[in-house]
Amino acid sequence: MRRNSLLFPCLLCVFFLAFRPGESAGAVAGAKKPPQPAPSAVYGGTTQMRPGAVTVQPAGTLKAQGALDDYDDDASGAETIADPLEPWNRFWFGFNNIFYLHIVKPVYQGYAAVTPRQLRSGMKNFFFNLFFPVRFVNNILQFRFMEAGVEFGRFVINTTSSLGFANVARDKKTIVPVDPSGEDFGQTLGRWGMGHGFYLVLPLIGPSSPRDALGRVGDLFADPLFYVSPWELAAGTELYLRFNDVGDVLPLYEDMNRAAVDPYIAMRQAYVNFRRVQVNR
């Protein structure tokens, strides 16, 4: 009981330290402002990737050099991952391609045509705000207490000002930079020293690994919709919110498929690099 009584004042202290008006993270910490990450189509949801995290070899260049058979991951020595299930993974990669490019894409285009941009943007903000507990808990598990304070402060501001439909806290200057993609339990396991294991393509979900698949299960317990009843309502709500975010993912996903010599290998490389950046940041 004593611990619970001390928890809320501690969070308030972190909140007020995290949000200092008129001071940027660079000014407070004496560090340069980190580069803004670019959107990524690699790892579901609202994930983002820093510029340069992925190198895609343009289609045709290696064929012209007669080196297609030697092409694997990025030649610059990018981190690799074991892929003992490659035939299985390639099957589901092809299945996901057909599903997203020939089913989800036209349905989303119709949805976007009849749904105002403001509504789509509001639902995206609401989705991000709703999953604050996942980001908050994983920051705590990684001992990122200041980042947890920033997430808590943003949640309070966005919820009290607009019920989460507007990202009012987006431009608030914070004492520590927080990656827009947030933290998840797969990253937490990586920070604790657990490796990927091997590459795994999941039906409909896409690139993953045993570590990140376990992380998805762990995140369920911090997902507010996990506790909504009936489960059909919770599942339908989450599917809609994720579908509403598809517009941020499809363009880059298509570009990567068109540009790469082997889209499967390009996606595998992108996934590994992206998760490495997230875990090590």
- How do residues 51-106 score in pLDDT, each as one tens digit? 444 444 444 443 333 333 333 444 344 578 999 999 999 999 999 999 999 999 99
Q: Which residues of 44-80 are buried (b: 16+ CB within 10 A; e: fewer)?
A: bbbbbbbeebbebbeeeebeeeeeeeebebbeeebee
CA distance 186 to 136: 14
Q: What is the pLDDT of residue 248?
A: 86
- How much is the average pLDDT of 227-256? 90
3-state secondary structure of 49: strand
**Residue ranges of the domains in the chain?**
84-280
Q: Give which of 275, 140, 281 is closest to 210, Cα–Cα.
A: 275
- Report percent pLDDT > 90 for the chain: 57
Tens digit of each residue's pLDDT (9 = 90 or more) over 143-174: 999 999 999 999 999 999 999 999 888 777 77
Name 39's bridge partners: 48
